[in-house]
């Protein structure tokens, strides 16, 4: 009976609810960049939660992975309203970013050249220069069929190394490409294994009773010395018994399988952002296009578990990119075929386009010419079109990339100059005369095309710095030579972001360089409402770059007034 009686709220309770709602509403309306603390551009992500080792992720079947990514997923996306809506209205933005649109350091990505200038020596060094310890290398296991064996060895110190050897028909091609890509991706900030090119004496390779190999039926069977010798003989070592080998050190920690380019690892409590919503993975498309790394799949990633608390076996997971043997003109065991990197292996939109084109539609890449260098293969910059570059198989993170993700990656690419790239190529130790110079030339031309593509829809102003009351930005278009400094000028608007009131325009300004002295604007705010800047200490500087009479997209730099000075607290880019 009591249950049927209407309940009556007291006025006090109603007031409390209303106040809570109002507070929640106000909190929801406040922009994220206003939320304290405000600090520098490169913060770290929260320290990872320590946890027990996740279950190892099984590598998906290669066949199904190819079929799924090339046909099933495109079919699914074709019937997905989410995909069409994202195409029309813009997809969801990345989640692993701070108020500046930067990717904080994390177990996925560590800001390197984005944080500070690097020397060519640092690029050449990469994540490390270690090599297998002297002495015999015990073959533990590996894929030993096919033209290029992948051999897992253990050196005399017990360190595990992966050895890769080029097939005789394509000497230096895959190993060289892998080193170049690894050094440059490391400089960009990705976690990659240590790897070097060494001249390996083949008699260092030994087998022991526990050595195993995979047979034709995917069974692990004992590896015998005669089998290994026959295999090495097929690889054409030099008369001195040496062979060019890429040695790749096992990544730190215990390998627990690959990561996917979408979703998250359900048993990793730190893995809380779907991978396709990570800017570090979305932006990887631009760097992959640059390096022509066409095999950016789950198969070429590796998670490892880093133990921090040995006693309780607690630790966290680090996420690595591995295996860049499909970069530049290489495609693993072979060189790239015509069209590879220009459209997917099974590219349904291109196929359907030709189907309905009645034979009049030709692939745009038919004009591609192979490089004259045997060690480089099909790698060029003339026909390369950033907007149409395609990995061999669609990558979910690449598909979800927005112009802001692309710009973020381009801002890293812009910092890698000719000397940096040359240093990475030098680490590849090309022996063919002219090959290194050719690769350098092509990479720089592709870089320019990619930067133009990425800077098309956003203004390439980065690195907001304040000296006194002067805000200074860096124009990557000018810094990379894409835009002549004399051909552009900058328009500024300074607004005061007042809580609960409309923004107040404090100043307008135009300048030949992307810098502005905010002292007059701050003085104007003090005149309008003395002391109010202390209560409402946020101003926003909007910047446009004007070229040939045309105003480009806007950049908003949010600043906080701190003790008479200014601190950049956020940044927003308009996408045209």
- Would you count residue 55 as binding other proteins (CB under 8 A)? no
- Would you count residue 370 as binding other proteins (CB under 8 A)? no
Output 314 or 575, the one with its CB closest to other proteins: 314
The contact mask relative to other proteins for 2-41 (x = CB under 8 A, - = no) is ------------------------------x--x-x-xx-
Q: How far is the CB of 522 from other proteins (least distance, A)?
A: 26
Output 32 or 467, the one with its CB closest to other proteins: 32
Among 1, 12, 121, 217, binds other proteins (CB under 8 A): 217
Output 96 or 463, the one with its CB closest to other proteins: 96
Residue ranges in 265-304 that form contacts with other proteins under rule CB under 8 A: 269-274
Token couple for 575: 């996408």
Token couple for 391: 């990995």
- Would you count residue 369 as binding other proteins (CB under 8 A)? no
Q: Strands 137-143, 205-206: parallel, antiparallel or unpaired by DSSP? A: parallel
- Would you count residue 396 as binding other proteins (CB under 8 A)? no
Q: How far is the CB of 338 from other proteins (least distance, A)?
A: 6
Output 337 or 510, the one with its CB closest to other proteins: 337
Residue with tokens 């908003």: 556
Output 344 or 477, the one with its CB closest to other proteins: 344
How far is 282 from 261, CA to CA, in rounded Å?
A: 9
Among 1, 28, 29, 218, binds other proteins (CB under 8 A): 218
Q: How far is the CB of 54 from other proteins (least distance, A)?
A: 11
Segment lying near other proteins (by CB under 8 A), choices 82-90, 182-190, 369-377, 424-432? 82-90
Output 73 or 374, the one with its CB closest to other proteins: 73
Residue ranges in 246-265 that form contacts with other proteins under rule CB under 8 A: 264
Among 21, 24, 72, 383, binds other proteins (CB under 8 A): 72
Which of 328, 333, 335, 334 minimizes the C-alpha distance to 294?
328
- Would you count residue 206 as binding other proteins (CB under 8 A)? no
Measured distance between the N- and C-terminal CA atoms of the chain, rounded to whole angstroms = 64
Q: How far is the CB of 177 from other proteins (least distance, A)?
A: 18
Locate all alpha helices (DSSP H) within 235-292, ordered by sequence: 279-282, 284-291
Torsion of CA 340, 342, 343, 349, to 10 degrees: -160
Cβ proximity of 175 and 245 under 8 Å: yes
Output 87 or 134, the one with its CB closest to other proteins: 87
The DSSP code sequence of 16-42 is HHHHHHHHHHHHHHS-GGGSSP---S-
How far is 48 from 317, CA to CA, in rounded Å?
A: 9
Cβ proximity of 546 and 75 under 8 Å: no
Output 209 or 359, the one with its CB closest to other proteins: 359
The contact mask relative to other proteins for 312-351 (x = CB under 8 A, - = no) is x-xxx--------------------xxxx----xx---xx
- Would you count residue 95 as binding other proteins (CB under 8 A)? yes
Task: Tell me how many residues contact other proteins (CB under 8 A).
Answer: 72
- Would you count residue 80 as binding other proteins (CB under 8 A)? yes
- Would you count residue 143 as binding other proteins (CB under 8 A)? no
**What is the longest distance spanned by two Cα atoms in the chain?**
100
Cβ proximity of 351 and 373 under 8 Å: no
Residue 541, SS3?
strand
Locate all alpha helices (DSSP H) within 117-224, ordered by sequence: 120-125, 173-188
CA atoms within 13 A on the CB side of 501: 11
Cβ proximity of 425 and 418 under 8 Å: no
Cβ proximity of 378 and 329 under 8 Å: yes
Q: How far is the CB of 29 from other proteins (least distance, A)?
A: 14
The contact mask relative to other proteins for 98-137 (x = CB under 8 A, - = no) is x-----xx-x------------------------------
Which of 295, 273, 272, 251 minimizes the C-alpha distance to 65?
295
Kindly state the DSSP code that residue 66 receives in the 8-state scheme. H
Segment lying near other proteins (by CB under 8 A), choices 64-72, 115-123, 294-302, 448-456? 64-72
Among 4, 10, 29, 81, binds other proteins (CB under 8 A): 81
Among 34, 54, 67, 504, binds other proteins (CB under 8 A): 67
């Amino acid at each position: 009976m009591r249950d049927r009686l209407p309940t009556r709220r007291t006025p006090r309770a109603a007031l409390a609810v209303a106040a809570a709602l109002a507070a929640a509403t106000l909190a929801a309306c406040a922009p994220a960049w206003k939320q304290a603390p405000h600090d520098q551009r490169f913060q770290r992500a929260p320290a990872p939660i320590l946890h027990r080792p996740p279950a190892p992720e099984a590598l998906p079947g290669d066949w199904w992975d190819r079929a799924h990514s090339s046909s099933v997923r495109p079919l699914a996306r074709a019937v997905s309203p989410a995909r069409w809506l994202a195409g029309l209205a813009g997809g969801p933005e990345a989640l692993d970013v701070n108020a500046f649109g930067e990717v904080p350091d994390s177990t996925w990505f560590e800001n390197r050249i984005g944080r500070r200038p690097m020397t060519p020596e640092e690029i050449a060094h990469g994540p490390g220069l270690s090599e297998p310890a002297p002495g015999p290398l015990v073959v533990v296991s590996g894929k030993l069929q096919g033209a290029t064996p992948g051999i897992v060895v253990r050196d005399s110190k017990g360190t595990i190394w992966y050895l890769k050897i080029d097939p005789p028909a394509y000497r230096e091609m895959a190993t060289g490409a892998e080193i170049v890509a690894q050094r440059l991706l490391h400089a960009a900030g990705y976690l990659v294994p240590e790897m070097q090119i060494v001249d390996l004496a083949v008699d260092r390779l030994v087998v022991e009773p526990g050595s195993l190999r995979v047979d034709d039926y995917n069974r692990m069977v004992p590896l015998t010395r005669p089998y290994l010798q026959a295999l090495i003989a097929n690889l054409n070592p030099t008369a001195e018994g040496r062979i060019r080998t890429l040695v790749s050190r096992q990544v730190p920690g215990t390998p627990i399988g690959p990561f996917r380019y979408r979703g998250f690892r359900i048993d990793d409590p730190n893995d809380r952002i779907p991978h396709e919503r990570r800017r570090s993975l979305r932006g990887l498309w631009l760097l992959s296009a640059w390096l022509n790394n066409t095999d950016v799949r789950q198969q070429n990633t590796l998670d490892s578990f880093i133990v921090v608390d040995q006693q309780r076996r607690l630790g966290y997971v680090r996420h690595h990119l591995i295996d860049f043997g499909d970069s530049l003109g290489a495609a693993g065991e072979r060189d790239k075929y015509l069209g590879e990197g220009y459209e997917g292996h099974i590219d349904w939109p291109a196929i359907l386009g030709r189907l309905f084109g009645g034979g009049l539609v030709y692939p745009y890449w038919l004009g591609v010419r192979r490089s004259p260098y045997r060690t480089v293969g099909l790698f060029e910059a003339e026909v390369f079109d950033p907007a149409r570059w395609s990995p061999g198989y669609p990558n979910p993170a690449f598909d979800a990339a927005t112009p802001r993700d692309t710009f973020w990656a381009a801002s890293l690419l812009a910092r890698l100059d000719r000397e940096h790239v040359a240093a990475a190529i030098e680490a590849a130790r090309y022996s063919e005369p002219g090959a290194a110079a050719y690769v350098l030339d092509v990479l720089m031309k592709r870089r320019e095309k990619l930067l133009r593509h990425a800077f098309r829809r956003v203004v390439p102003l980065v690195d907001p710095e304040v000296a006194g009351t002067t805000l200074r930005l860096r124009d990557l278009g000018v810094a990379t030579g894409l835009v002549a400094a004399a051909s552009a000028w900058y328009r500024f608007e300074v607004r005061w972001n007042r809580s609960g009131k409309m923004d107040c325009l404090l100043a307008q300004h135009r300048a030949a360089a992307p810098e502005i002295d905010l002292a007059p604007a701050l003085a104007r705010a003090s005149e309008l409402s003395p002391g109010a800047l202390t209560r409402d200490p946020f101003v926003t500087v909007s910047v446009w770059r004007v070229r040939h009479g045309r105003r480009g997209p806007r950049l908003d730099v949010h600043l906080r007034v701190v003790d008479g000075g200014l601190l950049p607290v956020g940044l927003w880019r308009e996408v045209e």
